[in-house]
Amino acid sequence: MKLRNIIAAVALCFVAGTAFAQDEKPEYEFLPHAFLDIQGGAQYTLGEAKFKDLISPNAQLGFGYQITPWFAPRLQVNAWQSKGGWSAWKENGTEYAPKTYKYNYVAPGVDFIFDLTNAFGGFNPKRCVSVALFVGGGANIAWGNDDANAIAASIAAQQTYKGYELEYLWDGTKVRAFGRGGIEVGFRVSDAVSIMVEGNANILSDHYNSKKAENADWYFNALAGVRINLGKAYNIKEKPAPEPEPAPVVEQPKPQPKPAPKPVVEKIEPYRCDIFFKINKAVASEEELAKLDGLKTYMEKYPKAKVSIVGYADKGTGSAAYNQKISSRRSAYVKDLLINKYGIDASRISEDYKGDTVQPFAENDANRVTICIAE
């Protein structure tokens, strides 16, 4: 991945989460999920030589499970090469010339990761940078110590230089327990991928590098790579729909005295139902759709009645153009239900939409609505 693409991805994540239509402050629900770490870098093994002479390649593969926003166990395998440095080596009879030697290893283990950013700052999957500490341990399996054995053989051949021996020299394959701790910094690229930078310190017994030092042996890893989430890490919580305002009361006209009785004409009162929608939705809940049962009964009772459907969007969120589209989808959705689910003839239905140009209710959120009036 090119550097400018990484920088652009990090910059974009600062504004991610603000582009939700009609929702400026989303709330997130954490979901437990697995993840995969793939990393590579370098190792420095503590020894008696120049720093640059004790650098060797290193790689790490990890599989973890994020149980809570701040805690995750991780199985990991760290491997490749370690180096030793030994200053107690005489050359040409007088001068000391530090010797370096290399050997291979693989170190499977388990880490316990504590995400400090989520622990102290709250869960936010759109956060660009996160910091975590970890501790762990496992088994270090080392082999290929041929360089150190060759040095020892050379010393044995120099009968005049007694006392300069590798006292903990080993051959074949050796297994030793290790403990480790470290810090990792994550840079979010997307919901599924983060760039991870990690530093860790590992402690083993004094026998690891073949020299007797009367203290523990150490090696340090600097790694960089990617973390890939293997499942959905969060949900966006939907805010509950506001309580609708009561429909306006239609006052009945008072009967006027008439000199002579006239034939009684049945007066059909209009029937109104308001179908409310959640933010950025054009599909209503089952509770809202239940209101259409009453409308169906009314239309069956009065075969000549017709129903007018008008869709709306709230003015407080979204652009005017977007609100025109979503109000159209809301009215079309209700019309389709009346025709295909409730069997009302299309000729008895008229449809319109107003976007946010008309706000039938005083409360902003209540204007995510389709209003049906039958008469």
In tens, the pLDDT along 294-304 reads 999 999 999 99
pLDDT of residue 121: 92
What is the pLDDT of the chain when averaged over all its residues?
A: 87
The better pLDDT of the pair 25, 342 is held by 342
pLDDT of residue 356: 93
Average pLDDT, integer, range 37-63: 95
pLDDT of residue 10: 44
pLDDT of residue 19: 41
272 in helix, strand or coil? strand
In tens, the pLDDT along 302-341 reads 999 999 999 999 999 989 999 999 999 999 999 999 999 9
Q: Which residues contact 168 (CB under 8 A, 6 or more apart)?
A: 206, 207, 209, 210, 211, 212
Q: Which residues contact 4 (CB under 8 A, 6 or more apart)?
A: none
Average pLDDT, integer, range 121-127: 93
CA gap 198, 117 in Å, rounded: 16
pLDDT of residue 259: 67
Q: Are 26 and 62 in contact (CB under 8 A)?
A: no
In tens, the pLDDT along 168-214 reads 999 999 999 999 999 999 999 999 999 999 999 999 999 999 988 88
pLDDT of residue 163: 47
Residue 111 sits at the vertex; the CA angle it makes with 106 and 113, to the nearest 5 degrees, is: 145
Q: Are 90 and 151 in contact (CB under 8 A)?
A: no
CA gap 322, 328 in Å, rounded: 10
CA gap 169, 99 in Å, rounded: 14
pLDDT of residue 47: 87
Is residue 107 predicted with pLDDT exceeding 70?
A: yes
pLDDT of residue 158: 62
